[in-house]
Chains A and B, each alone.
Chain A
Amino acid sequence: MGSIFNLQQVVNGLQLGSIYALIALGYTMVYGIVRLINFAHGDFYMIGAYTAYGAFFLFNAVLGGSGLPMAAVALVLAMLASGLVALLTNRLAYRPLRYKPKLSSLITAIGVSMLIEYLFSALPFIGPSFRAFPEILPSVPIKLGQNATISTHALIDIGVAAVLMIGLTILVRHTTLGKAMRAVSQDKDAAKLMGIDVEKVIAWTFMIGGAFAGAAGLLAGMTYPRIFPFMGILPGLKAFIAAVLGGIGNIPGAVLGAYIMGVAETFATAYNSLLGEGIAFAILIVVLLVRPRGILGEKHADKI
């Protein structure tokens, strides 16, 4: 050890970055389309983790315990649950405020976030305390050179994130929905005039973003096996910062920002735990002061 470049930290950082990337994508897609920082997005991630947890206890007997079928069912259910909650949140809380001042939506989003968190915390069968996440898949370390290993969990995290991100890229580039999403993010009014059902596109965006956060929740549960109702707050904020770092509204930017964030945080924490807690906000402040549009964000002149 001792050297500043440390392969193990890079591996750990990429693993953490994969989880951030899945959350950051939802933030950036929603922001790109409705210009809203969806404060509740971190809670969709939490819902994914709890759904996977519940799925394990419901289907454990049927599916014969841990293993790939169990993991697949948990993944699908987590994505479905988070996606539906995101869809519902959009319909009930954000859509009525679409043409009101932007801050009303932001405050509503804070309210939704609080509501979800405290509801989970107050419900007797969930409760505020930590729960140990079951071992759906065993973690086996694989040697990487001399002094680094990569666990099967890390491979799964990175792999699932990669597959989902490739899927999203195909969706955005080659499907009608993807084209509509890009059109709406550029100019809502023009898209409407072109016959695009803007509200439908927004709904799909929330659903997909929520589902990705749900997948991240499952992966996080498996990797850092401790879940609680407020677990979404910090990863949510960090993923948001990652999206800002990459250029909010920009899909490849969110992924890039998330991996930078994951690696930076892993290194900072290894150096000093307080620094690890603060690095995300330090990054945010530096980005906003030095390059507010983010690494890949575009500059556009304000209309005056």
Chain B
Amino acid sequence: MKIPRTPWLLVVAAGFWAAVQLLRLVGFNDYYLFIANLSLVYVILAVSLNLINGIIGQFSLGHMGFAAVGAYVSGSITTLIFKLSPNVAAHYPGFVLALVAGGVAAALVGVAIGFPTLRLKGDYLAIVTLGFGEIIRTVFNNIDAVGGPRGLLGIPKFSTFTVILAFALITVAVIRNIAESAHGRNMIAIRENELAADLVGIDTTGYKVKAFALGAFFAGIGGGLYAHLLQIAHPTQFGFIYSVQVLIMVYAGGVGSLTGSVLAAFALTILTQLLKSGLSSLKSLTGLPIGGDWYMVLYALLLILIMLYRTEGLMGTREAKLMVIPEEDDK
């Protein structure tokens, strides 16, 4: 008789959900809820980027380009439905389908970009993906049908805490299960030594394209949720600097560690908000001119310090227990 393993990931997610519901009763206000939601969106973006940059060891700098595709595609679909009949509750199935459509569109873009570029390595790949990310953004900036430089406005606020949490859970679970499977082993081998991976019979190009597509898919979902949280999809939300922010999360958490990405997504989202509000209250208190971009200065400094003094990030490549699937015969 086999006892099924406890699904710890699900337990933790359910616990988090219940805790937030309870806290809502005792003054966990909308601002805090927004930060929780934003953190979860960044969990999706960081974990999906970690599949590309950490697990299979490529270097993408254009992750927000994929998020933009997801945001615009899903946003266009839901605004259309919403215009036809503005009954929010009835539209959740449509919303989920729109998100998936956005993810699929992002994955297709990922494949289209991946085929010509993935034979490039390291810093070259970084620059080319950066370029593609910017091209995607420029394209949206020039399509009038989605608002051009004004952005796509009037997106319904469908991204509730429960929906975002559910998608974050699915993203983490799927990427973890792949990373912990034979496919994940093949990807890690590619990261460790691409030539040797090739010469044990791994289709390295095929895997890179698949990983890129899968990472782009979840980034597209993340982008869709983001747009339905802020109720707008705007070209500036998906600029290079935001791709770097997600990159910082991946490296701060430990490249190759999904646990690290989840923790860093929460920690850095909260830290950003603290810095912003901390600096602005310090500004009004002391009259010092320290608003605006100072939090980005600190952010940049953080990235440099991580690289100089803790290159492996918070977790290195280690994973928390609940992120590891034990093998059948070792107990």
Contact = CB atoms under 8 A, between A and B. Distances in A.
Interface of A: 36-37, 93, 96-97, 100-104, 106-108, 110-112, 114-115, 118-119, 121-122, 124, 128, 233, 237, 240-241, 244, 274, 277-278, 281, 284-285, 288-289, 292, 304
B122 A93 contact: no
5 contacts: A97-B307, A97-B311, A108-B303, A118-B296, A281-B132
Given A103-B59, A114-B299, A281-B135, A288 B123 contact: no
A107 B138 contact: no
A114 B247 contact: no
B300 A122 contact: no
Contact of A104 (B126, B142, B240, B311): B311
Contact of A284 (B127, B195, B301, B303): B127
Interface residues of B, number: 38
B322 interface: no
A102 B123 contact: yes
A292 B244 CA distance: 25
Contacts, number: 101
Given A106-B126, A114-B241, A278-B138, A93 B304 contact: yes
Given A37-B127, A114-B241, A285 B116 contact: yes
B27 interface: no
Interface stretch (B155-163, B270-278, B287-295): B287-295
A104 B123 contact: no
Nearest to B312: A104
**Which among B247, B290, B301 has the highest number of chain A CB atoms within 10 Å?**
B301
A108 B293 contact: no
Contact of B304 (A112, A233, A241, A304): A112
- Chain A interface SS verdict (over half): helix
Contact of A114 (B128, B142, B244, B292): B244
Interface in B105-149: 116-117, 120, 122-124, 126-128, 130-132, 134-135, 138, 142
Nearest to A118: B296
A108 B240 CA distance: 16
A206 B47 CA distance: 36
